[in-house]
Amino acid sequence: MERTQLRRQVALTRQSLFDQGFLDEQFIQLEDLQDDANPNFVEEVVTLYYRDSARLITNIEKALEKNSLDFNKLDGFMHQFKGSSSSIGAKKVKAECTLFREYCRAGNGEG
Amino acid sequence: MAITGDSRSQFHVLAVDDSLIDRKLIERLLKTSSYQVTTVDSGSKALKFLGFQEDEQGNPDTPFGSPNNHQEVEVNLIITDYCMPGMTGYDLLKKVKESSSLRNIPVVIMSSENVPSRITRCLEEGAEEFFLKPVRLSDLNRLKPHMMKTKIKNQKQEEDQEELKISEIQSDEQQQPVQLPSPQPQPESQPQPPPPPPPALLLQHNNNKRKAMEEGLSPDRTRPRYNGIPTMV
């Protein structure tokens, strides 16, 4: 019925996230930790991640608005962001964080 | 200690990490492995939980079974993040290893960054393992032997302490590492199966470490800790 179709859609979306490099094996680790006793584990973690990331991004934006960039501070934020992204398997975000940090280290404000 | 620790599900792990997501993850991982878990978000909270008291550090005259040696709750392993604001995982590790009552607790450090000098420093300071984040279930399987060894380690470390103190009973201790009366919360003559000889333990130690180090270091490195000195005559 609709449920099956929805399920299939979810499965396809999920697969494409992997294919497009948004997610990596760590996400599968998370999925493996979910079971009948903890049926919402992935959802809980991802929700936490979104909340945490939103906060970090706000902080980063604020820091970027300043006239002279505090690269150390930015690097600190990115370290946290990269850490949590890595923990949930957010591959692409993690890669962007790494790049961002390299710019920070080089003092490259334009990047 | 009143707790007999006869079944694995009794093992209690204290997890320290400032990141909420990592705390949640490590909690789930540990619970899946049937450990009891307590999570805290800082090194200072961890020490508080452990019932850490500054004044009992390095007190050689602590009598057996002194109440000061009892922690508030029994903790069989501490797993901590390295990068934390305030007290880093390394600072926490040092504090634990410096405390006469807490030093027997195995400590594992986690870090998202693969910095060989960092890993070395932690292992030298007494960390059992160094996990690279993100931590996986398979990594946790390496913890079991350390927790099982805790009791044996208690005796070994006591032995090392004795050696340093140049005590007159030193020669007896060295011959009988198993029966060493321990000022730690266990009374002497604990009915236990005989532990494997220290050299074999060492090997296991190093092999476990290999996996952590392979990712960042040459596998030929050994830890120059004094724990590594075989004490069997």
Name the residue among A41, A80, A87 with its Cβ closest to that of B134.
A87
pLDDT of residue B154: 52
CA distance linking residue B16 with residue B38, whole number of Å: 9
Tens of pLDDT, residue by residue over B117-127, are 999 999 999 99
The pLDDT, as a whole number, for residue B217 is 47
A48 interface with B at CB cutoff 8 Å: yes
Closest CA to B60 of B156, B204, B162: B162
Element (H, E) at A18: helix A2-19
User: Which residues lie below 8 Å from residue A33, measured CB to CB, with a gap of 6+?
Assistant: A41, A42, B25, B28, B29, B32, B137
**Averaged pLDDT of chain B:** 71
* CA–CA separation, B35 and B77 (whole Å): 10
Q: Which residues pair with B39 in a beta bridge?
A: B15
Partner B contacted by A59 (CB < 8 A): no
Calculate mean pLDDT across residues B74-85: 91
DSSP H or E segment with residue B12: strand B12-16
State yes or no: pLDDT of B57 exceeds 50: no
B141 secondary structure, DSSP code = T
How sure is the predictor about B231, in pLDDT bands with cuts at 50, 70 and 90?
A: low
Query: Which pTM value belongs to this model?
Result: 0.66
Does the beta carbon of B20 lie under 8 angstroms from any beta carbon of chain A?
yes
- For chains A and B, CB pairs below 8 A equal 48
Q: Report yes or no: B112 and B72 within 8 Å, Cβ to Cβ.
A: no
pLDDT score of B145? 83
Distance CA B203, CA B24 (A): 33
Q: Using CB atoms, which residue from A32, A45, A86 is nearest to B133?
A: A86
Mark yes or no for CB contact A30/B137 under 8 Å: no
- Predicted local confidence at residue B43, as pLDDT: 93
Res. B1: pLDDT tops 50: no
Helices and strands (H, E) in chain A, number of each type:
5, 0
Rounded to a whole number of angstroms, the distance from the CA of A90 to the nearest CA of chain B is 11
Q: What is the pLDDT of residues B37-48, one digit of tens each?
A: 999 999 999 999
Greater confidence, A44 or B216?
A: A44
Residue A23 to chain B, least CA–CA distance (Å): 14
CA A111 to chain centre: 20
DSSP state of B189: S
Q: What is the b/e burial string over B98-137, where b = at least 16 CB atoms within 10 angstroms of the residue's CB?
A: ebbbbbbbbbbbbbbeeeeebbbbbbebbbbbbbbbbbbe
Q: Tell me what the mean pLDDT of segment A103-110 comes to.
A: 76
Alpha helices for chain B (secondary structure H)? 20-32, 43-49, 89-98, 116-125, 137-140, 143-165, 170-175, 198-214
3-state SS assignment for residue B87: coil
- Please determine, for residue B207, whether its predicted confidence score (pLDDT) is greater than 50: no
Non-local CB neighbours of A81 within 8 Å, separated by 6+ positions: A53, A56, A57, A60, A93, A97
Kindly report, residue by residue over B141-154, the tens digit of the pLDDT. 888 888 777 655 55
Q: What is the pLDDT of residue B70?
A: 47
The string of pLDDT tens digits covering residues B130-181 is: 999 999 888 988 888 887 776 555 556 566 766 776 666 655 555 544 444 4
Under the banding of pLDDT at 50, 70 and 90, the label for residue B97 is very high
